[in-house]
Amino acid sequence: MAGVTDIAAPFCWGILGVARINRSLVGPLRQGRHQLVAVASRSLDRARAYADAQGIPTAYGSYADLIADPAVDAVYIPLPNSMHVEWAVKAAAAGKHVLCEKPIALDATGIRQMQEAARTHGVVITEAFMYRHHPLVAKVTALAHDGTIGRLQGIRGTFSFPLDRPGDTRFDAGLGGGSLWDVGCYPVSFARTVAAARPLAVQGAAAWSEGDVDLSFFGQLHFPGNVFAQIHCSFESPFKTEVEVIGSEGRLLIRHPFKPEITETIEVQRGDEHTTVAVDGPPLYQGEVDDVAEAARTGRPPLVTLADSLDNTETLVALLEAARTGATVALPT
Ligand SMILES: NC(=O)c1ccc[n+]([C@@H]2O[C@H](COP(=O)([O-])OP(=O)(O)OC[C@H]3O[C@@H](n4cnc5c(N)ncnc54)[C@H](OP(=O)(O)O)[C@@H]3O)[C@@H](O)[C@H]2O)c1
């Protein structure tokens, strides 16, 4: 840990779990001053095989052993959703900075536990919303509020894909499964960011699996000032990601809102006029990795703060309650 305040010192990462998503992170976790020094699995054989295949120096047969390793400055947590809070808090208590996959928690209590752990142990804990690190969403937010499309009225966002892997943790209610937690968290996060507000209340409807996770979800968010959002997510529809921002005089269309390319495009329609705005950003997963190291070095907050994650989590919890009860659910004040 001693070297993390030195801009030239290596910033050393460990990964908890041999998850599929790791393939998107192993490159960024080795760029520049980042070093990927350890991986842990519930199975030592699996950790060793993965470490050998990826050229990672140290393999552990338990997550606890990895977070006890003094050579590790920060951990990346790609565990099933229900395990995020437990391991983020344990890693923080061991003095490690934490980049934790979305959704970082399944309730507000989990976020508060992480806030307390980050404060007590002086470490960074942040949710791995990689899209937030591309300037695309900041540009969309600026265009939504600078009069380009008139007065902001609403945001529509979709993230769907056909999930055809029986046994996937996303079908397991006990592990935090369901399409809203898995991919609906993105349009909710994007809409909150563009609205620059916390929803006042939500409505929702879902199709539930036999195992009681939502397979498809339709939600509506009410923001202050007559701004609304509609979100759709699903494990049952063809792949689609899109966000539309609707104003009184035009609209913005973003075709790759959650996985922006290095150069991404915003389509702007105002009356009969159609233009495009190009936005350049870093490779998708590099921004979130760099942000942890920079926040650790300088003491500044990470881009995605736990306060931001609290708003997202409370919105998602309220949407699920709305879909279960059929009621309009107000967010806690
Ligand atoms: N940001 C993105 O683009 C993105 C994309 C995909 C997924 N994600 C997020 O990343 C996380 C992992 O998703 P994934 O699809 O990569 O997961 P995955 O392939 O199912 O891997 C999860 C890992 O967690 C460990 N694990 C511990 N307890 C487990 C249990 N009871 N059941 C299953 N696995 C368990 C396993 O590692 P060991 O057996 O090695 O311990 C497993 O390999 C999720 O939170 C997801 O939302 C993010």
Determine the Cα–Cα distance for residues 33 and 185; give it in Å rounded to an integer: 31
pLDDT at position 3, please? 59
Task: Please report which confidence band the pLDDT of residue 237 belongs to, taking 50, 70 and 90 as the band edges.
Answer: very high
The 10 Å Cβ neighbour count of residue 8 is 6
Specify the domain boundaries for CATH 3.30.360.10 within the chain. 131-284
Under CATH, domain 2-128 is a member of which superfamily? NAD(P)-binding Rossmann-like Domain (3.40.50.720)
Specify the domain boundaries for CATH 3.40.50.720 within the chain. 2-128
Whole-prediction pTM = 0.97
pLDDT at position 107, please? 98
pLDDT at position 1, please? 52
Determine the Cα–Cα distance for residues 155 and 285; give it in Å rounded to an integer: 25
CATH number of 131-284: 3.30.360.10
- Residue 284 Cα: closest atom of ligand 1: 3
pLDDT at position 5, please? 72
Report CA(14)–ligand 1 centroid distance (Å): 15
Determine the Cα–Cα distance for residues 12 and 50; give it in Å rounded to an integer: 18
Report CA(215)–ligand 1 centroid distance (Å): 18
Q: What is the mean pLDDT of residues 47-72?
A: 98
* C-alpha distance across the termini of the chain, in Å: 38
Task: Please report which confidence band the pLDDT of residue 150 belongs to, taking 50, 70 and 90 as the band edges.
Answer: very high
99-137 residue pLDDT tens? 999 999 999 999 999 999 999 999 999 999 999 999 999
198-213 residue pLDDT tens? 999 999 999 999 999 9
pLDDT at position 138, please? 98
Show the tokens assigned to 211: 């195992």
Q: Contact at 8 Å (CB) between 44 and 20? A: no
Q: Check if 133 has its Cβ closer than 6 Å to any atom of ligand 1.
A: no
20-31 residue pLDDT tens? 999 999 999 999
Spatial CA neighbour of 258 closest among 139, 137, 145, 138: 137
Residue 2 pLDDT > 50, yes or no? no
Sheet-wide strand order for 201-208: 273-280, 263-270, 250-254, 240-247, 152-160, 227-234, 214-223, 201-208, 329-330
41-56 residue pLDDT tens? 999 999 999 999 999 9
Task: Please report which confidence band the pLDDT of residue 193 belongs to, taking 50, 70 and 90 as the band edges.
Answer: very high
Report CA(78)–ligand 1 centroid distance (Å): 5
Q: Check if 165 has its Cβ closer than 6 Å to any atom of ligand 1.
A: no
Task: Please confirm whether the linkage preceding 28 is cis (ω < 30° from 0).
Answer: no
215-227 residue pLDDT tens? 999 999 999 999 9
Q: Check if 18 has its Cβ closer than 6 Å to any atom of ligand 1.
A: yes
